Structure 1
Amino acid sequence: MSVALFKKLTILVVDDSAYMRHLLMTLLQALGVKEVLLAINGDEALSIVQTKEPDLIITDAAMMPMDGFSFASKLRSIRGHALGMVPIIMVSGHTDIASVERARDIGISEFLSKPISARGLYERLIQVLDRPRQFVETPTYRGPDRRRRERPFEGEDRRNSIALL
């Protein structure tokens, strides 16, 4: 992946911790990201995306009054607009299976556990930008294909009625 791609990006960072916002902004700027937008919670982030359309969003999971899960759900519910399909990386210190599955089930593109590292952030950015998963839209799910690899499957194909965008 070329660093030149980062120079074209606008990334929205949503975190209620000033320290984490600053850390993520510094790491993204070091990678050469063109523009980093900052929001302190999901409500503020929703206001920002009304006027600016980021290429990617990095959000914390636990914030008040609107957490990252609710924010991501609201974004995924936007139909007929590219903003509803923007890649979302969720950052959280809660890495239990229930939290990761919840993030997956609302359409999070990648999950990054705290404490974050420059390498971990870079790897998630590469995954989302250079190796994106197909976007899937069904009556009950909207987000990247949850399967990461093709494997032989025996059983009923329940995916034949979905739209792959």
Structure 2
Amino acid sequence: MQEATILVAEDNYVNQILIKKFLKKWNTGKVVISSDGQEALEMFGKEHFDLVLLDLQMPVLDGFAVAEKIRADSDPIKSNVPILALTATSFQEVKDQMKEIGFDDFVPKPFIPEVLYDKLIKHLNRKDSLE
């Protein structure tokens, strides 16, 4: 997890600070923060990420639209990056849409650091085992 590059798309400034604080504490590597879906896609296009944390409700483009565009990327490495949804919406309300688009997991908000950590480890280790 120490060499991971993680894209965090989250429009709430307090959540950005909290997520960045925990990711740094866990020595995840490089953390790139975007405040809306369009900015997230621009950043995603410019560099390689090992994991994407996506807030589902963001301005400009929501997390669903961003995930759809990531999954449609012509580069198979980029299009298969693990995507974790960050949302205050209940999992039951969004699980069908998340499955259809191809999200890998779900982190409820307000997030519990241990839950986020466990899911990061699970999906980053999955990536390591595929290489």
Give the TM-score of the pair, scaled to structure 2. 0.91
**Aligned mates of 2:87, 2:93 — CA distance in 1:** 12
Q: Is the counterpart of residue 72 in structure 1 residue 57 in structure 2?
A: no
Deviation string, structure 1 residues 129-160 (Cα, Å, up to 9, x no partner)? 2246xx9xxxxxxxxxxxxxxxxxxxxxxxxx
Partner of 1:111: 106
Q: Is the 8 A contact 2:91 2:106 kept in 1?
A: no
Q: Which has the larger radius of gyration?
A: 1
**Aligned mates of 1:34, 1:22 — CA distance in 2:** 16
**Aligned mates of 2:108, 2:77 — CA distance in 1:** 27
Q: Is the counterpart of residue 89 in structure 1 residue 80 in structure 2?
A: no
Letter in 1 for 2:59: M
Q: Secondary structure at the match of 2:68?
A: helix
Aligned residues: 128
**Aligned mates of 1:8, 1:97 — CA distance in 2:** 33
Letter in 2 for 1:84: S
Of 16, 31, 37, 1:36 maps to: 31
Of 47, 55, 70, 1:60 maps to: 55
Unpaired stretches in structure 1, ≥5 consecutive residues: 1-5, 136-165
**Aligned mates of 1:111, 1:59 — CA distance in 2:** 9
Q: Secondary structure at the match of 2:17?
A: helix
Offset, 1:98: 2.8
Offset, 1:80: 3.5
Deviation string, structure 1 residues 105-150 (Cα, Å, up to 9, x no partner)? 2100110111111101011112212246xx9xxxxxxxxxxxxxxx
**Aligned mates of 1:64, 1:19 — CA distance in 2:** 16
Give the TM-score of the pair, scaled to structure 1. 0.73
**Aligned mates of 2:33, 2:93 — CA distance in 1:** 28
Offset, 1:96: 4.4
Of 42, 46, 62, 1:47 maps to: 42
